Amino acid sequence: MRLRINSVFCFIKFIVILVILLNSCQKEAEIAIGANFEGGIIFYMDNTGEHGLVAAPKDQGYQYFTEYQWGCVTNAISGANGSLIGTGNQNTIDIINGCPETNTAAYICSNLELNGYSDWYLPSKDELNLLYNNLKIKNLGSFRSTAPIFTEYDAFYWSSTKFESSVAGREILSAWWQNFKTGGQDAGSSRNNSAYVRAIRAF
């Protein structure tokens, strides 16, 4: 009788361990670059393996009307100069606070409600580059390479990183964007140019 009880106990213990291992493996499989997770597609993981960034599954906008201006062409923005991973959210906040315009890249992301989440923002320069390297070139995330109608034009995406300088006494207000056909980034884009927008969020 005692042998039978021990056998049952060992079997139950085995099942519990197996369930724990399976749940652990499932979690690891879910939290990986390219996986669908918490409203978007994972494109960055930090060193802990538990936190990272996800991109919205598609560009923001409707059908062909998916390009937006960066905005505030004549306004110097306080802040919004973060370029590193993890700075996009504060950049977006700075843009919203310093720019009264709506229907801009930052505004669209900040007001986005998608897949049960409302904490989306416009990626920083380096976060945008991760979107290209970890998703676009792997054919993940449905990013554009060219414009939908005039395919001779490359597709550019906005970052939330501003670029402000002065040349020969003339103030230059522009922002960083990235060519998603070639991968090249450029800081000289006028803020009244139109480009594609892809919101991201942290988890």
Q: What is the pLDDT of residues 123-166, one digit of tens each?
A: 999 999 999 999 999 999 999 999 877 788 899 999 999 998 87
User: How far lies 62's CA from each of 8, 23, 67, 71, 118, in Å?
Assistant: 59, 38, 9, 19, 18
**C-alpha of 75 from chain center:** 25
**pLDDT-based confidence at residue 7 (cuts at 50, 70, 90):** low
CA dihedral 31, 35, 37, 41 (to 10 degrees): 130
Q: What was the pLDDT predicted at 4?
A: 55
How far is it, in rounded angstroms, from Cα 64 to Cα 148? 7
Residue 130: which region, alpha, beta or left (left: phi > 0; alpha: psi -120 to 50)? Answer: alpha
Query: Which two structure tokens, joined as six digits, stand for 173?
Result: 């207000």
CB 199 within 8 A of CB 120: yes
- DSSP code for 93: H
- DSSP code for 137: G
How far is it, in rounded angstroms, from Cα 182 to Cα 39? 28
CB 187 within 8 A of CB 163: yes
Domain locations along the chain:
48-202
pTM of the complete model: 0.83
CB 83 within 8 A of CB 93: no
Q: What was the pLDDT predicted at 121?
A: 99
pLDDT digits (tens, 9 = 90+) for 12-23: 554 545 444 444
Higher-scoring residue by pLDDT: 79, 28: 79
Least confident of 11-15, 52-56, 73-77, 116-120: 11-15
